[in-house]
Amino acid sequence: MRNFSSYGPINTKLNYYAPRKRLIQYAYERLTGQNFEEGGHYITVWAPRQTGKTWIMQQVMQKIKDSGEFDVGIVSMQSGKTITTDADILDLFVKKLNKWFKKDLPAVNSWQNLSDLFVKKYFKKPVILILDEFDALGEDFINKFANEFRDMYLDRQNESEKPSEKKACLLHSLALIGVRSVLGIEDVTGSPFNVQRSLHISNLTFEEVKKMFAWCEKESDQKIEPEVVKNVFRETQGQPGLTCWFGELLTEGFSDNRMKKDDHITMKNFKKIYTAATDLLPNNNILNIISKAKQKPYNETVFELFRTDEKMPFRYDDPDLNFLYLNGVIGHEEINNRFYAKFSCPFIQKRLFNYFANRLFRYMGTLREPFEDLSCVISENSLNIKKLMRRHEAHLKKNRKWLLKDAPRRKDMKIFEAVYHFNLFRYLSDFFGDRARVWPEFPTGNGQVDIVIEYGTQVYGLEIKSYTDETGYKQGIEQAARYGKQLGLAEVFLILFVEYVDDRNRKKYEQEKIDDKTGVQVIAVFVETGKWDMDFDSSGGSA
């Protein structure tokens, strides 16, 4: 019986998979060419890690091989990652070709002789070459290879009157596979490889994810609730590696929590494996994404993406956005014919939120005194969220100097909005300990942050925003009401972070409002963070 696999290219005989026929056909047509005699295209194939690039191109290669019209090969350049000399990289390239095509190709002593490998002396048919992990090479090698491939392409175009197999250079087409659009924005000298077409490997659609789980359900007789599949797609947005990882955990379990073959897979199972995937289990894809997101200067863009007051325009030629996009940290969304950056999926956003919250606020200080009476905040059956927020505000003010001493700051030296969200989450988690369950939610994957507290039989929803102006306040009320309705709650809290608020405005805005559309009561509460210049002395240095 098949299983789900998220470890490298899938095996179609052993693993569940999405056929991705349209993508495979598109790549096949680009490489073979719309007209065989004219030749194919030289293309780049790119996407973040674990999106199925290699597997798709393996299927394309097999389809080309089955046609019988080409000599086709796929070789990985990953082992060239540490090579530093021209001679060694050329030697590696020739050895890779020899091994794949079972040839005795000559040594190449200079870049200008690279085209000598693809001639009638060594190949009887036009050649289609697929180079995997091409962007593992150093930038200088990438450019040198690209320059020669471009010359080969142009030489073939100059012999347009000859059929493909009669041209001096037999390299009919070429595919370069990498996590980034090879020779794009990072090549400061300008790309010499301007003959290529770009093929982006997109995430799985909901229908593709749904069919994979239906296939599993039919083959295994393991009933899977439809809501489980919906939540897998919502949290992963069809990212192939993460989708299959969740499929593996749901159908097989983990550690001592193994699934039996006749067990029904319910939302209870999903919630358990989701918690384990968030807090317990390692995943190389996620670890790589975190390693990219925490790097400077890219971490500043990540912090800005947690802003609740405005969206960040997405521009591919922005180097920071480009880096985060091509490494799977962010994606983009279209709203009214404009594109905005967003986290690539809610699960990745949650993992990043947890990482930064725990990293920045590993120690929160004293949150309660040993004999303090907390009955006004927490009783046996309920919580007073408003007074709980007052406690958090007082703790933040009292400990601000050391608590926020190393907090990330914007160019204007103000602390990133996200830092206060991280701080609140850590405060609530530490304050309750095992007495309540506290977790963040990200319904949209962009900006909106919610914190849920489950205490006894009660669930409390906290919509987190920064106060900007009255318009934003009103929008926040409506948004919080929709969120409350989504949770099935009669009331929800809108927590508004602001540098300073006086008593008059507290009284004006800290109101309980019933939303006309949803009937949900929204209770607004300010949390005063203090002005940013409180952290600096009069000379402009850190206090």
Q: What are the pLDDT digits (tens) for 145-156?
A: 988 999 999 999
Q: Are 387 and 510 within 8 A, CB to CB?
A: no
Q: Which two tokens stand for residue 232?
A: 């897998």
pTM over 0.85: yes
Nearest alpha carbon to residue 389 among 501, 508, 483:
501
Give the angle 324-328-332 at the CA atoms, nearest 5°: 75
Q: How confident is the model at residue 447 (pLDDT cuts 50, 70, 90)?
A: low
Residue 398: pLDDT over 70: yes
Give the angle 363-367-370 at the CA atoms, nearest 5°: 120
Nearest alpha carbon to residue 453 among 470, 435, 473:
435
What was the pLDDT predicted at 449? 77
Q: How confident is the model at residue 538 (pLDDT cuts 50, 70, 90)?
A: very low
Burial of 116 (0-12, 13-18, 19+ CB in 10 A): middle
Q: How confident is the model at residue 186 (pLDDT cuts 50, 70, 90)?
A: very low
Tens of pLDDT, residues 306-344: 988 788 999 888 889 988 988 899 988 888 999 999 999
Q: Residues with Cβ < 8 Å from 322, sequence gap 6 or more?
A: 180, 184, 185, 186, 316
Q: Which two tokens stand for residue 437?
A: 């369950």
Q: Are 400 and 427 within 8 A, CB to CB?
A: no
Q: How confident is the model at residue 188 (pLDDT cuts 50, 70, 90)?
A: very low
What was the pLDDT predicted at 421? 94
Strands (E), 295-369: 312-313, 330-335, 338-343
Nearest alpha carbon to residue 92 among 145, 168, 155:
145
Q: Which two tokens stand for residue 347?
A: 């699960």
334 DSSP β-pair partners: 339
235, containing H or E segment: helix 226-236
DSSP string, 43-64: EEEE-STTSSHHHHHHHHHHHH
Tens of pLDDT, residues 448-481: 678 999 998 999 999 999 998 999 999 999 989 9
**Could you give the C-alpha distances from 538 to 29, 126, 246, 401, 542, in angstroms and in order?**
67, 74, 53, 15, 9
Maximum CA extent, the chain: 92
Q: Are 351 and 279 within 8 A, CB to CB?
A: no
76 DSSP β-pair partners: 132
Q: Residues with Cβ < 8 Å from 252, sequence gap 6 or more?
A: 3, 4, 258, 259
How many Å apart are CA 1 and CA 90, to the nearest integer? 44
Whole-angstrom Cα Rg for the chain: 28
Q: Over 263-295, what HEC string results?
A: CCECHHHHHHHHHHHHHCCCCHHHHHHHHHHCC
Mean pLDDT of 84-93: 97
Specify the 3-state DSSP secondary structure of 440: strand
**Lowest mean pLDDT segment, chosen from 100-104, 197-201, 204-208, 223-227:** 197-201
What was the pLDDT predicted at 200? 85
Q: Which two tokens stand for residue 134?
A: 């091409």
Q: Which two tokens stand for residue 408?
A: 């990330």
What is the CATH code of the structural domain delimited by 21-200? 3.40.50.300
Residue type, 507: K
173, containing H or E segment: strand 171-178
Nearest alpha carbon to residue 150 among 198, 195, 197, 94:
195
How many Å apart are CA 1 and CA 14, to the nearest integer? 7
Give the angle 265-271-273 at the CA atoms, nearest 5°: 75
Mean pLDDT of 113-124: 96
Share of the chain above pLDDT 70, in %: 93
Nearest alpha carbon to residue 374 among 362, 388, 361:
388
- Is the bond preceding 297 in cis, omega lying within 30 degrees of 0? yes
493 DSSP β-pair partners: 462, 523
Q: Residues with Cβ < 8 Å from 21, sequence gap 6 or more?
A: none
DSSP code at position 206: H
Going from N- to C-terminal start, the domains of the chain cover 21-200, 206-281, 290-535
Mean pLDDT of 370-385: 92
Residue type, 334: E
**Could you give the C-alpha distances from 466 to 238, 384, 495, 527, in angstroms and in order?**
31, 21, 8, 9
Mean pLDDT of 417-431: 95
Residue 512: pLDDT over 90: yes
